[in-house]
């Protein structure tokens, strides 16, 4: 849609004109500041907040910034304090050249709402350049017949300064023949003329040397000098004269190099060599001018490309000199004609590439357009596509705002590509396009959702620290920061579970790590919750349950509970010689802290004193006899058993059993002489003390039993005298031994003893224990 008046609907035209009038009324009066050139950087130019009547800090909150409109970024704004500071040292000659006054235009742009202020900074000249002549020496040929009062033009000195700091006066070294007169051109620049005071005599003085000094008007003044060599020549009484004293010509700025701009012509009435005329550039200076003149034909040609935007016109002087030294002068005024060689320039001052979907009339961009061409070549029309919900609003001096017509809907369209087209009115028309991509940002209306409501992770125990055990994942249907998810561990309600020392989570990708090695025997399973939170405002979150199952590893060897292997004395099992095959000698009890097949134990007999006499049940550890005992069997046996689990690799433990053969449980346990000698040789003094102590305890126990039996007999005799006691008749058979499957008599037993009145011998009958033997078996 174009913003030109002829192509804009009537209603929109009224709105635009109203906005322009309001903005122009608010910012038509420019704020002007002035400062001298070469001022040091950091210089405080002014306080814009104070000058504009704004509060301290308002510039910062409204996003104030300085737009230089193609100028060098000379100023910087401290938005917090409102101070306008000098960014770098300015040089008026670089910034403005010969333009006077040197005024730089800047704009102060505020947002919320959009507001513009025009700021002008005038750079005043200081006397920082001395006059400088084009050449250190110049040659002037003067005929000896020249009359006093004759004027001879001299080349002027160049001074980059302007005004009073430019060249103001010329002087010449003291002499008898000449003085210098300072003349002014139409543009105010000064140039010298040498005036003859006294006639020359070539025979008397053929050459003269003068020092020409140019002095500027600065304080203090600066000067430059050149040496003027004067050669007195013979008579040449006619000076060249140009056909026109002023030549005016217009040259298009796109003229090719070496193109003929103008041909000047001068005539000399003298004959011979004195009538030959040579042309040269004079007052303009050969170096600074983009032109060159043919010294014979007088054709002025272009030696450097012209630029209307840099220099729109040139003034120079042409001198025609004959061989006798006489010269004539004319002026040439060249006007550079502008052509449409510059496309419009679009400068973005403020750009917002993302706007919320529910924001009405959001400002997307603030930009300015410019074209250095003049006339219709510099007039511009700005437009965007018609099918977009955006409009261009002109604001102030070629400034535009790109604004949304109303709230946008992200669900229908999340991105817009807006092409701003700027076209000038020149011939041919030049166009500049700039495309802005606008993202419609989402509001945070969706919470993260986990891919699963709960996660079950399996970890092998004895894992390495910082092991990655699994990953949780959540998605968010929002976009941008609203969809950026951060994962975290939620506090657990179990005071026994130190979750921070067990598990960590990567906040960015949801990876879970075990911080230390887990032990199945200490912790088999645990649960915790993880949270997923987006970065929206306000932030939304959700949570999921994570269950960690620790898998068992075969890291524990079997442990033998019975018989104890760390006792000071070996455990000895008693085996009656009358034991039947399959008699239970003892039972090896072992456990394994592992679980599953890692805790399945098997028992194996590795070594025995008498192979084939004993066997071990593989599954329960029972040690039984394999055959009947004989007299040839050794009285003492040593068995080495292996307890092995079913892990991979398997772990095992060994256990040693000592079995002593006895004739019966009533026979005291007395080792054979050779066995006793072996024990005495093997045991140390401490073991001997222990044996003595055990013998003493056994004696006391036996004495107690006898006393107990005597007391019981007395009670029975008293009872028999009163009512009688049923006593079996006949003698008790001797040497009766209980060979039931009860195994070693490691527990306390109760016995009943009956004595016959006519018996001369007292025999004990060993009955089965009142307490069942199964209660005393090793588990």
**Strand ranges (E), 126-199:** 137-143, 151-153, 167-172, 178-184, 190-196
Is 50 exceeded by the pLDDT of residue 676? no
Is 60 exceeded by the pLDDT of residue 16? no
**Contact yes or no for 74/121 (Cβ under 8 A):** yes
pLDDT band, very low/low/confident/very high, at 599 (cuts 50, 70, 90) = confident
pLDDT attached to residue 127: 79
Nearest 5°: the CA angle 446, 448, 453 is 130
Summarised one tens digit per residue, pLDDT across range 691-746 is: 888 888 888 988 888 888 888 888 888 776 654 434 333 333 333 333 333 333 33
Torsion sign (Cα): 247, 248, 252, 254: positive
pLDDT attached to residue 737: 35
User: Which of the pair, 370 or 748, is modelled with greater confidence?
Assistant: 370
Q: How many CA atoms lie within 13 A of 164 on its CB side?
A: 7
The strand order across the sheet containing 525-534 reads 454-460, 541-551, 525-534, 485-489
The strand order across the sheet containing 572-576 reads 572-576, 652-662, 636-645, 601-608
In this predicted structure, which of 9-13, 286-290, 325-329, 439-443 has the lowest mean pLDDT?
A: 9-13
Q: Work out the average pLDDT over 333-346.
A: 90
Distance between CA atoms of residues 387 and 365, nearest Å: 18
Residues recorded for the chain: 779
**Contact yes or no for 340/377 (Cβ under 8 A):** yes
pLDDT attached to residue 717: 80
Using a pLDDT cut of 90, give the percent of the chain over it. Answer: 30
3-state secondary structure 648-705: CCCCEEEEEEEEEEECCCCCCCCCCHHHHHHHHHHCCHHHHHHHHHHHHHHHHHHHHH
Distance between CA atoms of residues 254 and 304, nearest Å: 11
pLDDT attached to residue 442: 82
Distance between CA atoms of residues 709 and 717, nearest Å: 12
Q: Work out the average pLDDT over 540-556.
A: 91
Q: Work out the average pLDDT over 477-490.
A: 87
Task: In the chain, count H helices and then E strands.
Answer: 7, 49
Distance between CA atoms of residues 222 and 226, nearest Å: 14
pLDDT band, very low/low/confident/very high, at 261 (cuts 50, 70, 90) = very high
Q: Work out the average pLDDT over 145-152.
A: 89
Q: Work out the average pLDDT over 115-127.
A: 83
Distance between CA atoms of residues 506 and 492, nearest Å: 18
Is 706 in a helix, a strand, or coil? Answer: helix
Task: Please tell me which of 93-97, 233-237, 556-560, 678-682 the model is most confident about, judged by mean pLDDT.
Answer: 556-560
Distance between CA atoms of residues 115 and 590, nearest Å: 91
Q: Work out the average pLDDT over 45-56.
A: 83
pLDDT attached to residue 721: 61
Backbone φ, ψ for residue 485 (5° rounding): -100, 135
| Rg, C-alpha atoms of the chain | 61
User: 105-134 burial by CB neighbour count: b if 16+ within 10 A, else e?
Assistant: ebbbbbbeebbbbbbebebbbebbbbbbbb
Distance between CA atoms of residues 195 and 486, nearest Å: 92
The strand order across the sheet containing 511-514 reads 467-471, 511-514, 503-505
pLDDT band, very low/low/confident/very high, at 17 (cuts 50, 70, 90) = very low
Is 80 exceeded by the pLDDT of residue 567? no
Backbone φ, ψ for residue 18 (5° rounding): -65, -45
Task: Please tell me which of 188-192, 332-336, 395-399 the model is most confident about, judged by mean pLDDT.
Answer: 332-336
Q: How far is CA 655 from the centre of its chain?
A: 64
Q: Give 566: exposed, middle or buried? Use CB within 10 Å, 0-12, 13-18, 19+.
A: exposed
Please, which residues have CB within 8 angstroms of residue 540's CB and are 6 or more apart in sequence? 444, 446, 447, 448, 533, 534
Q: Work out the average pLDDT over 394-419.
A: 86
pLDDT attached to residue 289: 81
pLDDT attached to residue 89: 85
pLDDT attached to residue 667: 46
Q: What is the DSSP string of 555-577?
A: ----EEEES-SS-SS--EEEEET
pLDDT band, very low/low/confident/very high, at 668 (cuts 50, 70, 90) = very low
Helix (H) / strand (E) containing 78: strand 75-78
Per DSSP bridges, beta strands 299-302 and 266-267 are unpaired
Distance between CA atoms of residues 761 and 183, nearest Å: 172
Q: How many CA atoms lie within 13 A of 499 on its CB side?
A: 19
pLDDT band, very low/low/confident/very high, at 685 (cuts 50, 70, 90) = low
pLDDT band, very low/low/confident/very high, at 283 (cuts 50, 70, 90) = low
Q: Work out the average pLDDT over 657-669.
A: 72
């Amino acid at each position: 849609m174009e913003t030109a008046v002829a192509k804009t609907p009537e209603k929109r035209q009224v709105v635009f004109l109203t906005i322009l009038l309001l903005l122009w009324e608010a910012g038509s009066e420019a704020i002007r500041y002035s400062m001298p050139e070469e001022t040091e950087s950091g210089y405080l130019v002014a306080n814009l907040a104070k000058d504009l009547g704004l509060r301290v800090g308002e510039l910062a909150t409204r996003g104030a910034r300085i737009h230089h409109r193609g100028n060098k970024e000379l100023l910087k704004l401290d938005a917090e304090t409102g101070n306008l500071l000098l960014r770098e040292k300015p040089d008026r000659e670089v910034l403005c050249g010969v333009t006077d006054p040197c005024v730089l235009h800047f704009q102060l742009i505020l947002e919320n709402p959009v507001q513009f202020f025009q700021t002008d900074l005038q750079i005043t000249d200081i006397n920082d350049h001395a006059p400088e002549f084009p050449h250190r020496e110049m040659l002037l040929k003067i005929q000896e017949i020249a009359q006093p009062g004759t004027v001879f033009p001299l080349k002027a000195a160049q001074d980059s300064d302007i005004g009073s700091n430019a060249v103001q006066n010329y002087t010449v070294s003291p002499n008898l023949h000449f003085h210098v007169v300072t003349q002014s051109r139409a543009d105010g620049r000064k140039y010298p003329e040498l005036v003859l005071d006294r006639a020359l005599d070539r025979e008397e003085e053929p050459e003269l040397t003068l020092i020409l000094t140019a002095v500027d008007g600065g304080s203090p003044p600066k000067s430059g000098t050149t040496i003027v060599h004067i050669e007195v020549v013979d008579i040449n009484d006619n000076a060249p004269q140009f056909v026109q004293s002023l030549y005016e010509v217009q040259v298009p700025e796109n003229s090719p190099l070496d193109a003929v701009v103008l041909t000047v012509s001068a005539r000399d009435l003298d004959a011979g060599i004195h009538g030959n005329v040579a042309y040269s550039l004079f007052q303009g200076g050969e170096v600074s001018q983009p032109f060159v003149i043919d010294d014979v034909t007088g054709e002025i040609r272009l030696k450097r490309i012209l630029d209307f935007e840099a220099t729109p016109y040139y003034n120079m002087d042409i001198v025609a000199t004959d061989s006798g030294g006489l010269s004539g002068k004319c002026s040439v005024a060249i006007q550079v004609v502008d052509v449409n060689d510059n496309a419009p320039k679009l400068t973005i001052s403020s750009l917002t590439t993302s706007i919320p979907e529910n924001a009405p009339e959001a400002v997307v961009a603030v930009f300015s357009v410019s074209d250095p061409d003049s006339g219709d070549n510099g007039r511009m029309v700005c437009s965007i596509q018609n099918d977009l919900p955006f409009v261009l609003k002109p604001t102030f001096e070629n400034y535009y705002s790109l604004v949304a017509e109303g709230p946008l809907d992200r669900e229908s369209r999340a991105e817009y590509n807006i092409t701003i087209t700027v076209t000038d009115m020149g011939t041919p028309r030049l166009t500049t396009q700039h495309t802005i991509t606008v993202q419609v940002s989402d509001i945070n209306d969706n919470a993260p959702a986990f891919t699963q409501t709960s996660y079950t992770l399996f970890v092998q125990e004895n894992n390495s620290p910082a092991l990655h055990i699994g990953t949780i994942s959540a998605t968010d249907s929002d976009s941008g920061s609203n969809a950026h998810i951060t994962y975290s561990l939620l506090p657990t309600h179990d005071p026994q579970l130190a979750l921070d020392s067990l598990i960590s989570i990567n906040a960015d990708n949801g990876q879970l790590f075990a911080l230390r090695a887990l032990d199945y025997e200490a912790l088999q399973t645990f649960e915790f919750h993880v949270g997923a939170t987006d970065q929206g405002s306000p932030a939304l979150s959700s949570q999921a349950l994570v269950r960690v199952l620790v898998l068992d590893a075969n890291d524990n060897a079997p442990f033998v509970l019975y018989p104890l292997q760390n006792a000071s004395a070996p455990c000895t099992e008693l085996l009656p010689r009358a034991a039947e095959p399959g008699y239970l000698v003892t039972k090896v009890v072992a456990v394994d802290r592992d679980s599953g097949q890692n805790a399945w134990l098997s028992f194996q007999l590795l070594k025995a004193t008498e192979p084939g006499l004993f066997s071990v049940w593989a599954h329960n550890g029972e040690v039984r006899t394999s055959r009947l005992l004989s007299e040839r069997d050794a009285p003492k046996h040593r068995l080495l058993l292996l307890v092995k689990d079913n892990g991979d690799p398997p772990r095992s433990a060994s256990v040693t059993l000592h079995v002593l053969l006895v004739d019966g449980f009533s026979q005291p346990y007395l080792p054979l002489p050779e066995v006793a000698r072996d024990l005495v040789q093997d045991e140390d003094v401490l073991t001997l003390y222990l044996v003595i102590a055990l013998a003493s305890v056994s004696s006391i126990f036996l004495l107690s039993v006898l006393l107990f039996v005597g007391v019981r007999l007395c009670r029975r005799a008293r009872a028999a005298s009163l009512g009688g006691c049923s006593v079996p008749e006949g003698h008790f058979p001797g040497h009766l031994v209980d060979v039931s499957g009860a195994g070693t008599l490691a527990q306390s037993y109760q016995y009943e003893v009956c004595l016959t009145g006519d018996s001369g011998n007292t025999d004990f009958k060993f009955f089965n224990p009142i307490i069942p033997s199964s209660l005393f078996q090793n588990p």
